[in-house]
Structure 1
Amino acid sequence: MDKIKVLVVDDHPMVLEGMRSMLTLINFVALTGIVPNAYEAMEAIKKEEPAIVFTDINMPEVSGIELTEKIKKEFPEVKIIAMSTFKERSYISQMIQQGASGYLVKSASKEEIEEAILSVYEGHLYISSDINMTQTEQQEIKNIPVISSREKEVLQLIADGKTNPQIAEQLYLSMHTVDSHRKNLLTKFGVNNTAALIKLAARHNLV
Structure 2
Amino acid sequence: MTADLVRVLVVDDHPIVLDGVTLAVHHTSWLHVAGYARSGREAVAAVDALRPDVVLLDLRLPDMLAPEAVHSLRKRSPESKIIIFTAYPDHAALDAALAAGVDGVVVKDTAREVLIDVIRRVVSGERVVEVDHDTSSALVSRKLREHGLTRREYEILRHVAMGQTNPEIAAELGLTRNTVKTYLQRSLEKLGARNRVEALARASQLGIL
TM-score by length of 2: 0.63
How far 1:133 sits from its partner (Å)? 4.5
Secondary structure at the aligned position of 2:92 is classed as helix
Give CA deviations for 1:68-119 in whole Å, capped at 9, x if unaligned. 1110122111110001111227333211111211111110111111111111
Tell me which residue corresponds to 1:27. Answer: 29
Tell me which residue corresponds to 1:52. Answer: 54
2:124 to 116, 122, 131: 122
Tell me which residue corresponds to 2:174. Answer: 186
Tell me which residue corresponds to 1:132. Answer: 132
Tell me which residue corresponds to 2:147. Answer: none
How far 1:50 sits from its partner (Å)? 0.5
Query: Does the aligned pair in 1 maintain the 2:44–2:76 contact within 8 Å?
Result: no
Tell me which residue corresponds to 1:5. Answer: 7
Tell me which residue corresponds to 1:68. Answer: 70
Query: Does the aligned pair in 2 maintain the 1:81–1:102 contact within 8 Å?
Result: yes
Secondary structure at the aligned position of 2:46 is classed as helix
Query: Are residues 94 and 2 of structure 1, via their aligned partners in 2, closer, same or farther at CA, if it must alter by over 3 Å?
Result: same
Q: How many residues align?
A: 153
Query: Does the aligned pair in 1 maintain the 2:81–2:102 contact within 8 Å?
Result: yes
Query: Does the aligned pair in 2 maintain the 1:80–1:100 contact within 8 Å?
Result: yes
How far 1:62 sits from its partner (Å)? 2.2
Greater Rg over alpha carbons, structure: 1
Tell me which residue corresponds to 1:81. Answer: 83
Query: Does the aligned pair in 2 maintain the 1:104–1:127 contact within 8 Å?
Result: yes
Query: Does the aligned pair in 2 maintain the 1:10–1:35 contact within 8 Å?
Result: yes
Query: Are residues 11 and 89 of structure 1, via their aligned partners in 2, closer, same or farther at CA, if it must alter by over 3 Å?
Result: closer
Unmatched tracts of structure 2, length 5 or more: 136-151, 157-164, 176-207
Give CA deviations for 1:144-183 in whole Å, capped at 9, x if unaligned. xxxxxxxxxxx53998xxxxxxxxxxxx97xxx5xx8546
Tell me which residue corresponds to 2:102. Answer: 100
Greater length-normalized contact order (CA 8 Å, ≥ 6 residues apart) = 2
**Could you tell me which amino acid in structure 2 is paired with residue 186 of structure 1?**
G
Q: Percent identity?
A: 24
2:113 to 111, 114, 135: 111
Query: Does the aligned pair in 2 maintain the 1:72–1:99 contact within 8 Å?
Result: no
